[in-house]
Amino acid sequence: MGLKEDELPLAISVTGEVGNNSFDHNLGNWRDVPGCWFETQATGGWLWICVADRGQGVFRSLTRADPTIPNEPAALVAAFERTLSGRAPENRGNGLKFVRNIVVASAGRGLACRSGAGLVEYGRLGSVCRKELARFPAEPAGTVTLILWSLK
């Protein structure tokens, strides 16, 4: 069993946008290992997608554009809910809003993202992703996003 034909481009777009951010917002700012790690697993009627990087983190990236962001949790909310980019003054900052909108558009999707002490969830299955991410200690920098997609 796999993704339905009309779901495949959405899952690819969401995953691609999250992975692309690993590069767009970390070039020259990697802590140690450059790049990002992708993993997928289909099990029990679910497609799990994980994208992680050891970059500077969302807070450090976004406070360049808005120094009033107070902390890592607020930075993650801003990343997914505001038109704001750590690549300012470039006119960007809509990618994670696109990701959020795709994830919340169907009950069979969810996402959780952790960056430093920040942890957000979106979609009906977001709490399942958040619970998985909460099992692991937070890194001081870098970002990990766990996406869950129903195969049913």
8-150 topology per CATH? Heat Shock Protein 90 (3.30.565)
- Does pLDDT of 107 surpass 80? yes
| DSSP assignment of 96-149 | HHHHHHHHHTSTTEEEEEEETTEEEEESTTHHHHHHHHHTSPPPSS-EEEEEEE
Contacts of 39 (CB under 8 A, 6+ apart): 48, 49, 50
Q: Which helix (H) or strand (E) holds 90?
A: none
Residue with tokens 């920040």: 118
In the chain, what percentage of residues exceed pLDDT 90?
Answer: 58
Nearest residue to 141 (alpha-carbon basis) of 10, 26, 50, 37: 26
Which pLDDT belongs to residue 90?
57
Q: For 59-91, write each residue's pLDDT tens digit.
A: 988 888 889 999 999 999 999 998 876 555 555
Q: How confident is the model at residue 125 (pLDDT cuts 50, 70, 90)?
A: very high
30 or 60: which leads in pLDDT: 60
**What is the rounded end-to-end Cα distance, in angstroms, of the chain?**
8
Token duo for residue 78 = 């801003």
Please calculate the CA angle 138-142-147 and round it to the nearest 5 degrees.
80
In the three-class reduction of DSSP (H, G, I as helix; E, B as strand; rest coil), residue 18 is classed as helix
Token duo for residue 21 = 């951010």
Mean pLDDT of the chain: 87
Q: What is the mean pLDDT of residues 24-39?
A: 76
